[in-house]
Amino acid sequence: MIGGLLYLTTSRPDISFGVRLCARYQANPKQSHLSIVKQIFNHLAGTVNYGLWYTCDKNTTLVGYNDYDWAGCLDDRKSASGGCFFIGNNLVSWYSKKQQSISLSTVEAEYIVAGSCCTQLIWLNKMLTDYGYP
């Protein structure tokens, strides 16, 4: 079930965080994890017509948004980082991951997620330049 949901996250970013959270416990799942996976499937059944919508416009402005959850993981107190990136009005990239280290303050967690976001924006900007977009 997790493998199918991981495949589906390529077109449904709204389930990305929950699916990746369940995938962490795939080696040793409990009944609570199965109930969460069933909730994700119920969410998908109710939102079958949802997905990504891309518009055709000349706007090539690259914009990135990020956020973090300081010490959100109850198992190891690591923070979660996430971000999404738009070209014009179109979502082109997103990520959600647990940070490598334990942040001692909200400022440290915010600094880490800002660095990840800037790295992704620089990479996307370089890729757009390689494709001939200003």
Q: What is the DSSP letter of 46?
A: H
Considering its fold, how many domains does the chain have in total? Answer: 2
* Those residues with Cβ within 8 angstroms of residue 121's Cβ, 6 or more apart along the chain or in another chain: 62, 64, 85
Q: pLDDT tens for residues 17-53?
A: 788 888 888 888 888 888 889 999 999 899 888 877 7
Residue 121 in any domain: the answer is yes
User: What single-letter amino acid sits at 78?
Assistant: K
In 3D space, the residue among 32, 31, 30, 3 whose CA is nearest the CA of residue 19 turns out to be: 3
Is residue 40 located within the same domain as residue 70? no
Residue 57 domain-assigned (yes or no): no
Structural domain contains residue 2? yes
pLDDT tens digits along 73-97: 667 767 777 888 998 888 888 887 7
Q: Is the pTM of this model over 0.85?
A: no
Q: Which domain holds residue 32?
A: 1-46
Which residues lie across from 65 on neighbouring strands?
Answer: 84
In this structure, the answer to whether residues 25 and 70 fall within a common structural domain is no
Do 6 and 32 belong to one domain?
A: yes
The angle, 0 to 180 degrees and rounded to 10, between the axes of the packed helices 16-23 and 31-46 is: 160
Query: What is the pLDDT, as a whole number, of residue 7?
Result: 86
Both 104 and 68 in one domain: the answer is yes
* Whether residues 20 and 75 fall in one domain: no
Same domain, yes or no: 3 and 41 = yes
80 burial (CB, 10 Å; 0-12 / 13-18 / 19+) is: buried
pLDDT for position 29: 83
Residue 69 and residue 23 in one domain: no
